Amino acid sequence: MYTGTLSLSDVEVGKHFYWYLSEKLSLHGQVLIVSWFVLLLILSFSILGTQKIEKIPQGWQNFMELVVEFIEDIAKNQLGPTAYKPWIPFIGTLFLFIFGSNWAGALIPWKIIQLPVCELAAPTNDNNTTVALSLLVSLTYFYAGIKKKGLGYFKRYLQPTPVLLPINILEDFTKPLSLSFRLFGNILADELTVSVLTMLVPLIIPLPIMILGVFASSIQALIFSTLAAAYIAEAIE
Amino acid sequence: MDAIISAASVVSAGLAVGLASIGPGIGQGNAAGQAVEGIARQPEAENKIRGTLLLSLAFMEALTIYGLVVALSLLFANPFTG
């Protein structure tokens, strides 16, 4: 692995700040630290927004209502105006967590805090986080389908013709795979391009890529939550 | 690390990203061109077209990203070096 001459810009992929729970069980500490930070941030935003609820919203309440309406729109566009209500919390949680962690990785100068092994970055640049999120999506659309139709949900595997059964089963595996790799790859690719460019030219040149990264990571959060909503809609239609 | 394995890994990492970016490049160009045409014909639908375009661009980008994931795993987490 290449190690830069400047300590300002190392490419640190595949190094982790391990926490050992026991002999065999270890955690990626740097991911957990930043995701707890993001959770704390989202929690404090929502507490601030619901502190003094008024009829005519002002300040934080106004902002949080805007956020909630945006999330409602995502759910309503995919699930339709009748069925979207119960899924707003799930889709909103996905959107806010991914958005928060992508932007926390892009905007906060984590390099100030020194870790012994690697550096703090967006939690979504670790494959474990994104696989966990997309498996949650899989579980949720199975739950949604079975709750709506009972065991009749599994009839859709034979839907156009029974010949397509293997492909329909395969689809249940490719959905979380593509969902997780899309998010993980985009965030990691963004951080890698920025760090490689910073290694070559430390000043000014990486800035446009950073701005593009901030934009792309917000789009990725939107895509992930839209796709989650679309999968749920497919299961309950 | 075996010299041949590392050389092959580096070459194939480059090929993975390079080949994976051809198709999505053409597709994104097509999509963006059609979107511009749509906006020129119907400027009042610009917001809706932009939203759909961004979403579909991100889908196409995902294909390149798969190639990138393969390349990254060859470079940083190579399974063949033991």
Tens digits of residue pLDDT in A38-67: 999 999 988 888 887 888 888 888 888 899
Gyration radius of chain B's alpha carbons: 18
Give the whole-number percent of chain A exceeding pLDDT 90.
25
Range in A61-70, A125-134, A150-159, B34-43 with the lowest mean pLDDT: A150-159
> CA-CA distance, A104 to A214, in Å (whole number)?
10
- Cβ distance of B55 and A222 shorter than 8 Å: yes
Residue B59 pLDDT: 81
Q: Which residues are within 8 A (CB) of B15 and not within 5 positions of it... i.e. 6 or more apart?
A: none
Residue A116 pLDDT: 76
**Tokens 């190639």 sit on residue:** B67
Residues of chain A with Cβ-Cβ distance to B61 below 8 Å are: 186
Q: How many pairs of residues across A and B have Cβ atoms under 8 Å apart?
A: 37
Q: What angle do CA A184, A112, A100 make, to 5 degrees?
A: 40
Residue A1 pLDDT: 43
This prediction has a pTM of 0.84
**Tokens 């990486």 sit on residue:** A206
Residue A91 burial class via C-beta count within 10 angstroms: exposed 0-12, middle 13-18, buried 19 and up: buried
Residues of chain B with Cβ-Cβ distance to A1 below 8 Å are: 76
Beta bridge partners of A20: A26
pLDDT single digits (tens) A2-38: 444 445 556 667 677 888 888 888 888 888 889 999 9
pLDDT single digits (tens) A71-91: 998 888 888 888 888 899 999
Average pLDDT, chain A: 85
Nearest Cβ partner for B62 among A178, A188, A222? A178
pLDDT single digits (tens) B5-43: 889 999 999 999 999 999 999 999 999 999 999 999 999
Residues of chain B with Cβ-Cβ distance to A188 below 8 Å are: 72
A91 SS3 class: helix
> CA-CA distance, A112 to A118, in Å (whole number)?
12
- Cβ distance of A223 and B77 shorter than 8 Å: no
pLDDT for A115 beyond 80: no
Structure tokens at A129: 């986080």
Residue in A with minimal Cα distance to B78: A14
Residue A29 pLDDT: 84
pLDDT for B71 beyond 60: yes
Residue in A with minimal Cα distance to B75: A1
Residue in A with minimal Cα distance to B67: A185
